[in-house]
Structure 1
Amino acid sequence: MRAVIQRVSSASVTVAGHTTGAIGAGLLVLLGVHNADEQKDINWLADKIINLRIFDDAAGLMNRSLLDTGGAMLIVSQFTLLGDCRKGRRPSWSEAAPPERAKQLYLDFIEVIKGYGISTASGEFQAMMEVSLINSGPVTILLDSQKKF
């Protein structure tokens, strides 16, 4: 699994003019599912994200996690994160999981995050979405469960 994590003051996702998910302070997670991903990837990534110390403490240092702050998480599926642009000018999507499998792993990821007691919102899988956010910092982190970077 591959994720772009953004610390936000607020974020929302809209599908066909209807807001499907919105949060206040917390994390926006854009999530791509690799064709080799399985439950261990979900567990590793979920644990890593909710425990990332990227929120300010009283001294203004990034020492607090999402769990520490009680913030929320907006999770949006984004298969384009698996685009391979090393050859040519058109991305290859060959490493992205097929839609049926990707959807199930995406939904499983959401359930794991909810299991930690995190207030969670989401986009709509395979829909054309408009994502709005106010990036706080800005703070943006890239993670890959297969540690490709």
Structure 2
Amino acid sequence: MGALRQRKVATLQNSYMEQHKIRQQYVNKQKKRLVRRLTVFFMFVIVVSYALISSLLSRHTLLEEKLAQKEQLEKKLAALEKEGELLKEEIVKLNDDEYIAKLARREYFLSDQGEIIFNLPEKDDKEKEEDSSY
């Protein structure tokens, strides 16, 4: 409301008042420039902060994915190493003639002289469960 009312006090027209008015305008311009510079600076800080935070988050998710992938590959490696050990044991067993004869009898139904082989059908899972429940 005070701005709507006109001032009834006359301003003095001397050099001091002119200098004071010019100085006040200069100070106001300096304040505006300062506010603009600070605004630009804070906008820059916000943009840089956003870029850094988004980069950090993307790297964090990438790291999580890589750790999960590493864990999965370590499990796969352990399984493959175990399979390798089993295959090495199988190689050692295959060098034994008795094991080869036993394997040939079981897999290929080969028999020694005078032996008769009877092929019995294997029980299904349901039949095995029924037999084990008695």
Q: Verify same fold: TM over 0.5.
A: no
Instruction: Name the TM-score, length of structure 1 as normaliser.
Output: 0.16
Higher RCO, Cα 8 Å, sep 6+: 1
Name which one, 1 or 2, has greater alpha-carbon Rg: 2
Q: In proportion to residue count, which structure has more helix?
A: 2
Name the one with the larger strand percent: 1
**TM-score for both structures, normalised by structure 2:** 0.17
